[in-house]
Amino acid sequence: MKGARFDQLRTFWAEFRRVKSGLVGLALLGVFILIVLLAPWLSPYSQADKRWRDMTYWIDSPRDARPLWVNWFTSRKYTETQTINAASSKETITGSGSSTMRIEEMEFPYQYKAGYPPNDIMIKLGVTGRSSYEVLIVRPDGKQMSYRGSTTIEGAQVVRLSVVETLASRVYAALAPSEDPAFAAQKDPTQIDPMSALFAKAQPGVFTNPVNVPGTYTVKVKLALIGPDAKLDTSQVLVMGGVSGILGTDDGKRDLWSGVVAGTKWALLLGLLTSLISVAVGVIYGVASGYFGGWIDALMNRIYEVFTSIPLLPILIVMSAVFKPSIWIMILVMCVFFWTGPVKTVRSIALQIKENAYIEAARGLGASHGRILFRHLVPQLLPFAFASMALSVPGAIVTESSLSLIGLGDATVVTWGQILRDAFGSGAVLKGVWWWVVPPGLAIAVMGMTFAFIGFAMDTILNPRLKTR
């Protein structure tokens, strides 16, 4: 008996193998499953799933960065994001006891390779205890600008050069002499873009039409550690580039590749779970309705019709808006409306099978309803059930992402819909931030396609009439 079952599977597989798109679908599904399994190794931010909305987790990555590979296609390159460790450091100790002060002098050389200037430079000083600092930037042409932290701070120091206002004026001060004097006189020092000017050639137009100069820009940091307990661990300079990671980042600095990878898990999970539950319910409902017939069938038909008369997404929107469900409840609610999918077909197939004499023969032999349903009817419907399961996965994923898009998703998980919502909400579409909008949508589409390929392939096997040869 086991052998026979296996035999049927083998013939099914032999048929399936002939449909190329089905094989492509299976391969893609394999890729998605691999992505889920290898997520910790694939994504640079391994906690992306849990800390997607935790802004502190993303502090180290650039904002609004394009994907790395954009540079392969543009003539003017975007700066890559990179971390620079101290090239040299020098320690001087003054005073003793409670008035001990250690001066750490560190140099961070940055090789700037022309193209667009970095978005930002962030200096991270891993300090325990009290400290104050001074920053000096030396350009390849020798021009320098310095900046001193205004107060003494307890704990780690993080300096983001782009938002330090005084830096703008220092840059201005250093470069204004080279600028066209007439222009320089008009310009408000705080209105210049410090980052582009910092990396621009000192010549007229440095503020308005900067020509970026490649070379070594050195960030020199002088850190004063105050008190005997103050210690310095590691210090780094992060150059926030215009490109980062496989898919870039969003305006919350989140790495989109990590997001898409994390979303894969949820898409697969909610898609498969929803389709599994709803198809199981639908198949059993349809089989029972067709098999029992009579008033049971009539009643079940009425219930079915009520469910199919309710537009799916609107009711889900209102339910989500009112009850604010978690993703698990959402899956359950989707099932409540998704189960109707296979019912009609299953019922008509069941009616057809029921007409076969072997059902009557089984009854004549004294088989119970349960035996007939689960030994004769349901097994025949399994291939159809698998096909309709495959075909209802994309629906579930799209429904979830639609709900997320409108702001009703479960905010504690990262789904592709959530990413798209953030993108749409922050105007990415209107600003043309394509690397934020395209990947999650494409992921939904490809996953949908994966299951469509598999489902349609099974469908052609099941409907020999549609075969063209």
Window contacting another protein (CB under 8 A); options: 54-62, 92-100, 129-137, 442-450:
442-450
Task: Return the range that interacts with another protein (CB under 8 A); candidates 52-60, 163-171, 205-213, 429-437.
Answer: 429-437
Nearer to another protein, 109 or 441 (CB): 441
Under rule CB under 8 A, residue 444 binds another protein: yes
Q: Which two tokens stand for residue 113?
A: 């390779």
Count of beta carbons in the 10 Å neighbourhood of residue 151 = 5
Q: Which is nearer to another protein, 186 or 309 (CB)?
A: 309
- When the beta carbons of 137 and 333 are compared against another protein, the nearer one is 333
Rounded to an integer, what distance in angstroms lies between the CA atom of residue 111 and that of residue 468?
A: 63
**Do residues 223 and 190 lie in contact, with contact meaning Cβ atoms separated by under 8 Å?**
no
Stretch that binds another protein, among 77-85, 135-143, 231-239, 428-436 (CB under 8 A): 428-436
- For another protein, the closer of residues 132 and 450 by Cβ is 450
395 is an interface residue for another protein by CB under 8 A = yes
Cβ count within 10 A of residue 79? 26
Q: Which stretch binds another protein (CB under 8 A): 88-96, 114-122, 254-262, 431-439?
A: 431-439
Give the DSSP letter string of 336-391: HHHTHHHHHHHHHHHHHHHHSHHHHHHHHTT--HHHIIIIIIHHHHHHHHHHHHHH
Nearer to another protein by Cβ, of 150 and 309: the residue is 309
Asked if 131 and 224 touch (Cβ cutoff 8 Å), the reply is: yes
CB of 257 to another protein, least distance (A): 18
Instruction: Give yes or no for residue 362 binding another protein (CB under 8 A).
Output: yes
Under the binding rule (CB under 8 A), the answer on residue 397 touching another protein is: yes
Closest CB to another protein among residues 91, 360? 360
Q: Which positions from 363 to 382 touch another protein by CB under 8 A, shown as an x/- string? A: xxxxx---x----x--xx--
> CA angle at residue 323 from 436 to 261, to 5 degrees?
30
Q: N- to C-terminal Cα distance for the chain?
A: 33
> What are the structure tokens assigned to 220, written together?
């020199």
Distances (CA, A) of 321 to 85, 401, 403, 404: 49, 15, 9, 11
Establish how many alpha carbons lie within 13 A of residue 342's alpha carbon, considering only the half-sphere containing its beta carbon.
33
213 vs 445 by CB, closer to another protein:
445
User: Using the rule CB under 8 A, is 319 a contact of another protein?
Assistant: yes
Residue 3 or residue 97: which is nearer to another protein going by CB? 3
Of the ranges 136-144, 215-223, 274-282, 305-313, which one interacts with another protein (CB under 8 A)? 305-313
Report the residue from 48, 219, 334, 447 that binds another protein according to the rule CB under 8 A: 447
Indicate the helix (H) or strand (E) that contains 18.
helix 2-18
Nearest to 5 by CA among 380, 367, 377: 380
78 touches 70 (CB < 8 A) = yes
Answer for which of 174, 387, 448, 461 binds another protein (CB under 8 A) is 448
Q: Does 311 bind another protein (CB under 8 A)?
A: yes
H runs (alpha helix) in 212-255? none
Kindly tell me which residue out of 112, 259, 456, 458 binds another protein, with binding defined by CB under 8 A: 456
Shortest Cβ distance from residue 324 to another protein (Å)? Answer: 11
Site residues (CB under 8 A) for another protein, limited to 322-361: 322, 355-358, 360-361
Beta strands 101-112 and 88-94, pairing class: antiparallel
> Of the candidates 138, 272, 406, 462, which one interacts with another protein according to CB under 8 A?
406
Shortest CB 221 distance to another protein, Å: 42
> CA-to-CA distance for 199 and 197, rounded, in angstroms?
5
CB 313 within 8 A of CB 254: no
Q: In whole angstroms, give the CA distance from residue 297 to residue 295.
A: 5
Nearest CA-CA partner of 400 in 267, 236, 275: 267
Residue identified by tokens 């450091």 is 89
Counted residue by residue, the chain has a size of 469
The smaller minimum CB distance to another protein, of residues 47 and 356, is found at: 356
Which lies closer to another protein via its Cβ, residue 135 or residue 279?
Answer: 279
Min CB(464)–another protein separation in Å: 10
12-71 residues in contact with another protein (CB under 8 A) are 21
Stretch that binds another protein, among 55-63, 134-142, 318-326, 327-335 (CB under 8 A): 318-326
Which residue, 97 or 294, has its beta carbon nearer to another protein?
Answer: 294
Least Å distance between CB 456 and another protein?
5
Q: Pick between residue 164 and residue 317 the one whose CB is nearest to another protein.
A: 317
Amino acid at 27: A
Residue 396, classified by CB atoms within 10 Å of its CB into exposed (0-12), middle (13-18) or buried (19+), is: buried
Query: In this chain, which of 398, 413, 414, 461 binds another protein, going by CB under 8 A?
Result: 398
Total number of residues that touch another protein (CB under 8 A): 73
Residue 247 CA: distances (Å) to CA of 49, 65, 379, 401? 16, 9, 45, 20
- Site for another protein (CB under 8 A): which residue of 47, 216, 321, 412? 321
